Structure 1
């Protein structure tokens, strides 16, 4: 299955107070770290959607074999970045069969998780007649990003508006959705306090 990755990195990080895409873990910015992880998977293309602070963030991605999409409408909500990333992926590679959406603020997303999602998307489970159209991650009693959507879901993603993100399409297609337990998904870095707490725990391990 031809699977692409879209990294959503257009937000202004208003709760963080500084562009979270540029915060460092292990000497790498979050945006570079996530992009390099994506490049280590078998997925193609890797598309990064930028918006706020795009000039600063773009410097982190120089000379990387990826597609960078500027979203001038990033302030209109998550749906605009999802759609720009999806269109950018398709324009880069027309044979695309599925796309995985990631955000930069979930530092424990790994190559292994991405591979598990792809494998789950290809398997017909005993209680199903066909393989799932969506594979979402499950954590903290909810399901969401990282999430894989097969091509037949693309039109629903393109119809999203405002701050509606991937979750709206997942909830509308529960019977076609498989999940993967990803307890580390509860760690996302929205505030400076969360970032410092993560670094403290991460450096102790």
Structure 2
């Protein structure tokens, strides 16, 4: 299956007080860290959507075999970045069959998780005739990113607006959604306190 990845990295990180894309783990920025991780997966193409602070962030991606897209409408909400990333992935590979959406602030996303998502998307579950249209990660009571959408749902994603993220499409297609348990998905780095707490625990392990 031809699966692309879209990394959503256009936000202004207002709660963090600084561009979270440039925060470091193990001496490497979050944006560079996740981009390099995706390059080790079977996914192609890899698209990164930038917006706020793009001139500061863009150099982190220099000389990588990825597509970088500027979203001038990033302030309009998450939907604009989803659409820009999806169009960028489709323009890079016309016969794309699915896309996985990621964000930069989930430090436990790994090559193994991406491979599990792709494998699950190709499975036929017991009692069902077709493989799922969506594979979402589950953490606690939540379903969300990282999440894979198959081509038949691309138009639904393109119709999103404002701050409506991928979750709206997931909820509208729950019967066609498979999930992967990803407890570490509860860890995302929105504030400086969360970042410091993560580093403290991460360095102890």
TM norm structure 2: 0.99
How far apart are 1:129 and its partner, in Å?
1.4
Residue 75 of structure 1: aligned partner: 75
Corresponding position of 1:99: 99
Tell me which residue corresponds to 1:13.
13
C-alpha RMSD of matched pairs (Å) = 0.4
**Residue 185 of structure 2 is aligned to residue 194 of structure 1:** no
Which residue in the other structure is 1:140 paired with?
140
Alignment of 1:45-56 (within 5 A): 45-56=45-56
CA distance in structure 2 between the aligned counterparts of 1:169 and 1:125, rounded to whole angstroms: 21
DSSP 3-state at the match of 2:47: strand
> Residues of 1 paired with 2:33 and 2:196: CA distance?
17
Deviations 1:16-71 (A, max 9, x none): 00000000001100000000000010100000000000000001000100000000
SS in 2 for 1:8: strand
Q: Which whole-Å deviations, capped at 9, do the CAs of 1:81-132 have from their partners, x for residues lacking one?
A: 0000000000011110000000000000000000000000000010311000
Deviation at 1:142, TM superposition (A): 0.8
Stretches (4+) displaced over 4 A: none
Residue in 1 aligned with 2:176? 176
Q: Corresponding residue for 2:86?
A: 86
Whole-Å separation in 2 of the counterparts to 1:91 and 1:130: 27
Alpha-carbon distance between aligned partners in 2 of 1:195 and 1:127, rounded to the nearest angstrom: 43
- Stretches of structure 2 that go unaligned for 5 or more consecutive residues are none
In 2, Cα distance between the equivalents of 1:15 and 1:61?
24
TM-score (norm. length: structure 1)? 0.99
Distance 2:42 2:168 in 1: 27
Aligned length: 205
> CA separation in 2, counterparts of 1:181 and 1:110?
13
Which structure 1 residue ranges, 5 or more long, are not aligned?
none
3-state SS, counterpart of residue 91 of structure 1: helix
